[in-house]
Amino acid sequence: MTQSNYALRLQAHLKAEVERLAKAEGTTLNQFINVAVAEKIAALRIAGFFRERARAAAVPAALAIWDSIGADEKSQPGDELEE
């Protein structure tokens, strides 16, 4: 794995909190920041994935399927909605 260095400027209160959290996790500040960056990248990628899936969605067809599910079944005790 290739590594590179980057001088990161954190606000003092953020650095103190990250150091506290890293210590509580039993890891180094560097490893904590690496994992945090990786998690943010993953979150942004998955959000993009779902945005693309939503753009391609056939909403009327999906709603029709949703409306048909259980349409032939009677309500069971406990299915009532509270007002």
Residue 11 has a pLDDT of 97
In this structure, which amino acid lies at residue 57?
A: A
Average confidence score pLDDT of the chain: 92
Predicted model pTM: 0.64
The verdict on residue 31 lying in a domain is yes
Looking at the 3D structure of the chain, how many domains does it have? 1
The verdict on residue 83 lying in a domain is no
37/24 Cα distance (integer angstroms): 18
From residue 81, alpha-carbon distances to 18, 66, 69, 76 in Å are 45, 19, 18, 12
32/27 Cα distance (integer angstroms): 7
The verdict on residue 32 lying in a domain is yes
Domain that holds residue 52: 12-68
Enumerate residue ranges in the chain where pLDDT < 70: none
> What's the DSSP call for residue 78?
T
